[in-house]
């Protein structure tokens, strides 16, 4: 058995799941910091070796940092009789959750390295999972990519019409409209997927009935 076969896409998904369970059980802050530094360094080295764009990942990392900042703003204080005070337990919890989340993000990027949507769907099909769950995952991966492309087209169309996002009521109104359009498209895609499955004679209990008939 070759070593390369141990890093096939479906095996990497299994490794990622197990690693996620391990990270979820870690509470030692120095160990989490060490793992974060190690994984981030390995990821940066991989980026330079493969000559990939760093900005693509930095942009998504900034989104995570904004989420973590909001989490810190929520957990680092609490109300007492005298007013507002720092919450030491909340700060410690925020540290652990921040380190775990950051570690998992870079771990996902490493374990799913050079894995596009097609490879991910094929890897999910090789896992010992229920058929319904695999079909749900396939539809999710497929339509998330479609919604991402649709959002980019909407963004380009709005900017072509002179739209510039700012911190005002107009921006909130336009953002709410774009989210509503995405939800409408999601509903239409879900209905089309359901119709397509029915046209292919898909029945949720089909496998179970076949097995019962064989018995």
For the stretch 9-46, pLDDT in tens is 888 888 889 999 999 998 999 999 999 999 999 999 98
Q: Using CA atoms, how far apart are residues 6 and 151, in angstroms rounded to an integer?
A: 37
Confidence band of 96 (pLDDT split at 50, 70, 90)? very high
| Better-predicted residue by pLDDT, 204 or 81 | 81
Rounded to the nearest integer, the mean pLDDT of the chain is 81
Structure tokens at 93: 């919890």
The 10s digit of each residue's pLDDT in 181-197 is 877 877 777 677 667 76
Q: Please give the pLDDT value at position 127.
A: 80
Q: Please give the pLDDT value at position 85.
A: 84
Q: Please give the pLDDT value at position 213.
A: 46
Average pLDDT for 122-138: 77
Q: Please give the pLDDT value at position 119.
A: 79
| Better-predicted residue by pLDDT, 214 or 128 | 128
Structure tokens at 175: 């953002």
For residue 91, which of 76, 101, 78 has the smallest C-alpha distance? 76
What is the DSSP secondary structure assignment for residue 166, as one 8-state letter? -
Q: Please give the pLDDT value at position 210.
A: 46
Lowest mean pLDDT among 68-72, 127-131, 209-213: 209-213
Q: Using CA atoms, how far apart are residues 49 and 27, in angstroms rounded to an integer?
A: 33
Does residue 209 have a pLDDT over 70? no
Radius of gyration, alpha carbons of the chain: 22
| Residue 197 CB burial class (10 angstroms; 0-12, 13-18, ≥19) | middle
Structure tokens at 130: 């229920």
């Amino acid at each position: 058995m070759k070593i390369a076969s141990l890093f096939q896409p479906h095996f990497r998904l299994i490794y990622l799941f197990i690693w996620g369970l391990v990270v979820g059980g870690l509470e030692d802050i120095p160990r989490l910091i060490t793992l974060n530094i190690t994984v981030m360094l390995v990821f940066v080295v991989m980026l330079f070796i493969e000559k990939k764009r760093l900005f693509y990942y930095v942009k998504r990392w900034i989104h995570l940092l904004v989420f973590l900042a909001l989490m810190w703003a929520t957990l680092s204080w609490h109300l007492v009789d005298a007013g507002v005070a720092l919450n030491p337990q909340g700060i410690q919890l925020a540290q652990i959750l921040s380190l775990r989340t950051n570690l998992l993000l870079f771990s996902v990027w490493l374990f799913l390295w050079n894995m596009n949507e097609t490879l991910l769907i094929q890897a999910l099909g090789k896992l010992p999972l229920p058929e319904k769950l695999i079909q749900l995952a396939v539809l999710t991966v497929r339509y998330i990519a479609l919604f991402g492309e649709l959002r980019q087209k909407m963004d380009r169309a709005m900017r072509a019409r002179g739209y510039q996002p700012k911190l005002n009521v107009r921006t909130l109104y336009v953002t709410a409209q774009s989210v509503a359009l995405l939800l409408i498209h999601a509903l239409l895609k879900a209905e089309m997927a359901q119709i397509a499955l029915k046209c292919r004679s898909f029945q949720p209990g089909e496998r179970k009935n076949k097995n019962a008939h064989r018995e």
